[in-house]
Chains A and B, each alone.
Chain A
Amino acid sequence: MVENQDQGPYYQINDTKNPDLLHERRSATFDIELLTQFMFGGPNSYFNINKRRQLTRLAYAHPIHKTHLPLEYLDADEFYALLIRKSFVAIKEAERLNITDRKFLGWFLSVFTNGRFIFGLHTSMFLHTLENMASDEQQEKFLPLARSFQIIGTYAQTELGHGSNVQRLETEAVFDSKTDTFVLNTPTLTATKFWPGALGRSTNYVLLMAQLYTPDRSHPCGLQMFFVQIRDLNTHEPLPGVEVGEISTRFAHEVGDNGYLRLTNVRIPRNQMLMKLAYVDEQGTFHRLGDPRLLYGAMLATRVNLCAFFSILLARAVTIAMRYSAVRRQGQNPDGKETLILDYPLQQEKLVPCLAATYAFFYSFIKLEHFRASILDGDTILFELLPELHAISSGLKAYTSTHGERWSQICRVACGGHGFLVASGIKGINNMLDAGCSYEGDNAVLYQQTARFLLKVIQQLDENTDTNPDSSIAFLYSNKVAPATVVNLDDYCRLFEARSELLLKSMSTRLSELSSSSSTPYSVFSKNSIELVHVAKAYVETFVLRAFYDGVRKASEHKELAVVFEQLFHVFAIDTLRNSAADFIRLKLLTPDQIYHLETYGLPDMYARLRPNLIALVDAFDFHDNELNSCLGRYDGQAYEALMERARLNPANRYKVHPVWTSIKQNAKSKL
Chain B
Amino acid sequence: MDESSVAKPHYEINDTKNVHLLEERQSATFNVEKFTQFMFGQSDNYYEINARREIIRLALAHPIHQTHLPFEYLNADEYYSLVIRKSLLAIEEANRLKITNDKHRQWFLHIFSSGRFAFYIHAVMCTYAIETMSNEEQKRKFLPLVKSYRMTTAYTQTELGHGTDLRRLETEAIFDRETDSFIFNTPTLTSTKFWPGALARSANYALLMAHLYTPDRNHPCGNQMFLVQLRDLDTHELLPGVEAGAISTRFNDCAGDNGYLRLTNVRVPRTNMLMKAAEVDRDGNFHRCGDARVLYGAMVHMRIHLSYSFSVSLAQAITIAMRYSAVRFQGSNPQGNETRILDYPLQQEKLVPCLASAYAFLVTFLNLNNYFNDLKTNETMFFRQLPELHALASGLKAYTSSVGERLTQNCRVSCGGHGFLFASGIIGIRNFLDASSSAEGDTVVLYQQTARYILKMIQRVEEDSEKGVDASTTYLRAKLWSGKTMINLDDYCHLFESRAQLLAKEALAQMFESSLSPYATFLKNSIQLVQLAKAHVETYLMRSFLEQVNKAAHHLEFSVILEQLFYVFAIHTLRNESKDFIRLNLLTAEQIYELENRLLPDLYTRLRPNLVPLVDAFDFHDVELDSCLGRYDGQAYEALMERARLNPANQQKVPPVWKAIKQGTLSKL
Return the contact of B330 from the options A72, A163, A236 (Cβ within 8 A).
Answer: A163
Q: In the docked arrangement, what's the CA distance between A190 and B526, Å? A: 52
Tell me whether A417 and B163 are in contact in the complex, defined as CB-CB below 8 angstroms, given that A161-B637, A245-B645, A249-B422 are known contacts.
yes
Return the contact of A344 from the options B234, B330, B526, B583 (Cβ within 8 A).
Answer: B526
Q: Is the CB of B371 closer than 8 A to any CB of chain A?
A: no
5 A-B pairs with the lowest CB-CB distances in the bound complex, closest first: A586-B589, A245-B650, A653-B245, A423-B248, A248-B423
**Beta-carbon contact of A530 and B589 below 8 Å:** no
Return the contact of B582 from the options A529, A533, A581 (Cβ within 8 A).
Answer: A581
Q: In the docked arrangement, what's the CA distance between A27 and B402, Å? A: 34
A591-638: which residues lie under 8 A (CB-CB) from chain B?
Answer: 592-593, 595-596, 599-600, 604, 631
A79-101: which residues lie under 8 A (CB-CB) from chain B?
Answer: 80-81, 84-85, 88-89
Tell me whether A529 and B649 are in contact in the complex, defined as CB-CB below 8 angstroms, given that A88-B666, A585-B582, A665-B235 are known contacts.
no
**Beta-carbon contact of B590 and A586 below 8 Å:** yes
Q: Is the CB of A200 closer than 8 A to any CB of chain B?
A: yes
**Beta-carbon contact of B164 and A434 below 8 Å:** no
B234 cross-chain contacts in A, Cβ below 8 A: 665, 669
Tell me whether A652 and B434 are in contact in the complex, defined as CB-CB below 8 angstroms, given that A246-B650, A248-B628, A660-B85 are known contacts.
no
Which one of A5-13, A332-340, A479-487 is at the B interface? A332-340
Specify the chain B residue showing the minimal Cβ separation from A652.
B246
Apart from A195-B417, A200-B650, A417-B438, what are 11 other A-B pairs with CB-CB below 8 Å? A70-B248, A164-B331, A189-B638, A235-B662, A344-B523, A427-B251, A438-B413, A522-B334, A530-B346, A586-B593, A660-B81
**Beta-carbon contact of A235 and B592 below 8 Å:** no
CB A169 to nearest CB in B, in angstroms, measures 12
**Beta-carbon contact of A248 and B420 below 8 Å:** no
A250 cross-chain contacts in B, Cβ below 8 A: 420-422
Which one of A51-59, A290-298, A405-413 is at the B interface? A405-413
**Beta-carbon contact of A346 and B438 below 8 Å:** no
Tell me whether A331 and B583 are in contact in the complex, defined as CB-CB below 8 angstroms, given that A67-B669, A246-B650, A647-B245 are known contacts.
no
**Beta-carbon contact of A192 and B641 below 8 Å:** yes
Tell me whether A652 and B76 are in contact in the complex, defined as CB-CB below 8 angstroms, given that A76-B648, A421-B247, A578-B579 are known contacts.
yes
24 pairs of residues in contact across A and B, judged by CB atoms under 8 Å: A70-B248, A75-B75, A160-B640, A189-B637, A194-B640, A195-B417, A200-B650, A248-B644, A249-B72, A330-B163, A330-B165, A346-B527, A409-B434, A421-B247, A437-B413, A438-B416, A522-B333, A529-B346, A599-B579, A643-B194, A644-B260, A650-B248, A659-B81, A664-B84
Q: Is the CB of B127 closer than 8 A to any CB of chain A?
A: no
**Beta-carbon contact of A245 and B420 below 8 Å:** no
Q: Is the CB of B489 closer than 8 A to any CB of chain A?
A: no
B583 cross-chain contacts in A, Cβ below 8 A: 592-593, 595-596
A507-557: which residues lie under 8 A (CB-CB) from chain B?
Answer: 520, 522, 526-527, 529-531, 533
**Beta-carbon contact of A235 and B654 below 8 Å:** yes
Q: In the docked arrangement, what's the CA distance between A62 and B228, Å? A: 47
B627-669: which residues lie under 8 A (CB-CB) from chain A?
Answer: 628, 637-638, 640-641, 643-645, 647-650, 653-659, 661-662, 666-667, 669
Q: 1/0 per residue B567-585: CB within 8 Å of A?
A: 0000000010011001100
The size of the chain B interface, using a CB distance under 8 A, is 117
Return the contact of B657 from the options A81, A161, A237, A438 (Cβ within 8 A).
Answer: A81
**Beta-carbon contact of B201 and A661 below 8 Å:** yes
Return the contact of A349 from the options B527, B647, B649, B655 (Cβ within 8 A).
Answer: B527
A32-65: which residues lie under 8 A (CB-CB) from chain B?
Answer: 63-64
Tell me whether A650 and B526 are in contact in the complex, defined as CB-CB below 8 angstroms, given that A161-B637, A435-B420, A665-B236 are known contacts.
no
Q: Is the CB of B345 closer than 8 A to any CB of chain A?
A: yes
Specify the chain A residue showing the minimal Cβ separation from B341.
A164
Q: Is the CB of B597 closer than 8 A to any CB of chain A?
A: yes
Q: Is the CB of A116 closer than 8 A to any CB of chain B?
A: no
Q: Is the CB of B296 closer than 8 A to any CB of chain A?
A: no
The size of the chain A interface, using a CB distance under 8 A, is 120
Specify the chain B residue showing the minimal Cβ separation from A658.
B201
Q: Which residues of B contact A (CB under 8 A)?
A: 70, 72-73, 75-77, 80-81, 84-85, 88, 158, 160-165, 167-168, 189-190, 192, 194-195, 200-201, 234-238, 245-251, 260, 328-334, 338, 344-346, 349, 402, 405, 409, 412-413, 416-417, 419-423, 427, 431, 434-435, 437-439, 442-444, 517, 519, 523-524, 526-528, 530, 575, 578-579, 582-583, 589-590, 592-593, 597, 601, 628, 637-638, 640-641, 643-645, 647-650, 653-659, 661-662, 666-667, 669
**Beta-carbon contact of B84 and A660 below 8 Å:** yes
**Beta-carbon contact of A582 and B593 below 8 Å:** yes
Return the contact of A422 from the options B251, B524, B530 (Cβ within 8 A).
Answer: B251
Q: Is the CB of A247 closer than 8 A to any CB of chain B?
A: yes
Please classify the interface of chain B as helix (H, G, I), strand (E, B), loop, or mixed, using the class held by over half of its residues: helix
A195 cross-chain contacts in B, Cβ below 8 A: 417
Q: In the docked arrangement, what's the CA distance between A345 and B522, Å? A: 10
**Beta-carbon contact of B413 and A443 below 8 Å:** yes
Tell me whether A332 and B579 are in contact in the complex, defined as CB-CB below 8 angstroms, given that A75-B76, A251-B422 are known contacts.
no
B640 cross-chain contacts in A, Cβ below 8 A: 160, 194, 247-248
**Beta-carbon contact of B417 and A658 below 8 Å:** no
Q: Is the CB of A399 closer than 8 A to any CB of chain B?
A: no
CB A94 to nearest CB in B, in angstroms, measures 16
B657 cross-chain contacts in A, Cβ below 8 A: 80-81, 84-85
CB B219 to nearest CB in A, in angstroms, measures 18
Q: In the docked arrangement, what's the CA distance between A510 and B588, Å? A: 22
Q: Is the CB of A365 closer than 8 A to any CB of chain B?
A: no
Q: In the docked arrangement, what's the CA distance between A189 and B249, Å? A: 36
**Beta-carbon contact of B578 and A581 below 8 Å:** yes
CB A380 to nearest CB in B, in angstroms, measures 34
Return the contact of A72 from the options B249, B422, B589 (Cβ within 8 A).
Answer: B249
CB B73 to nearest CB in A, in angstroms, measures 7
Tell me whether A644 and B88 are in contact in the complex, defined as CB-CB below 8 angstroms, given that A245-B649, A595-B579 are known contacts.
no
Q: In the docked arrangement, what's the CA distance between A532 and B165, Å? A: 47
CB A337 to nearest CB in B, in angstroms, measures 11
Tell me whether A251 and B579 are in contact in the complex, defined as CB-CB below 8 angstroms, given that A438-B413, A522-B334, A665-B236 are known contacts.
no
Specify the chain B residue showing the minimal Cβ separation from A68.
B669
Q: In the docked arrangement, what's the CA distance between A437 and B161, Å? A: 35
Q: Is the CB of A168 closer than 8 A to any CB of chain B?
A: yes
A72 cross-chain contacts in B, Cβ below 8 A: 248-249
B333 cross-chain contacts in A, Cβ below 8 A: 522
A341-374: which residues lie under 8 A (CB-CB) from chain B?
Answer: 344-346, 349
Q: In the docked arrangement, what's the CA distance between A669 and B527, Å? A: 59
**Beta-carbon contact of B434 and A420 below 8 Å:** yes
A386-416: which residues lie under 8 A (CB-CB) from chain B?
Answer: 405, 409, 412-413, 416
CB A415 to nearest CB in B, in angstroms, measures 8
B443 cross-chain contacts in A, Cβ below 8 A: 413
Q: In the docked arrangement, what's the CA distance between A53 and B527, Å? A: 40
Q: In the docked arrangement, what's the CA distance between A192 and B405, Å? A: 32
Specify the chain B residue showing the minimal Cβ separation from A657.
B236
**Beta-carbon contact of B248 and A345 below 8 Å:** no
B413 cross-chain contacts in A, Cβ below 8 A: 434, 437-438, 443
**Beta-carbon contact of A582 and B417 below 8 Å:** no
Q: Is the CB of A106 closer than 8 A to any CB of chain B?
A: no
Q: In the docked arrangement, what's the CA distance between A169 and B583, Å? A: 51
**Beta-carbon contact of B579 and A581 below 8 Å:** yes
Q: Is the CB of A238 closer than 8 A to any CB of chain B?
A: yes
**Beta-carbon contact of A438 and B419 below 8 Å:** yes
B667 cross-chain contacts in A, Cβ below 8 A: 85
**Beta-carbon contact of B345 and A527 below 8 Å:** yes
Specify the chain B residue showing the minimal Cβ separation from A419.
B438
A641 cross-chain contacts in B, Cβ below 8 A: 189
**Beta-carbon contact of B649 and A81 below 8 Å:** no
B402 cross-chain contacts in A, Cβ below 8 A: 413
Tell me whether A346 and B530 are in contact in the complex, defined as CB-CB below 8 angstroms, given that A163-B330, A444-B346, A578-B579 are known contacts.
yes
Q: Is the CB of A439 closer than 8 A to any CB of chain B?
A: yes
Q: In the docked arrangement, what's the CA distance between A655 and B245, Å? A: 9
B162 cross-chain contacts in A, Cβ below 8 A: 330
Q: 1/0 per residue A248-268: CB within 8 Å of B?
A: 111100000000100000000
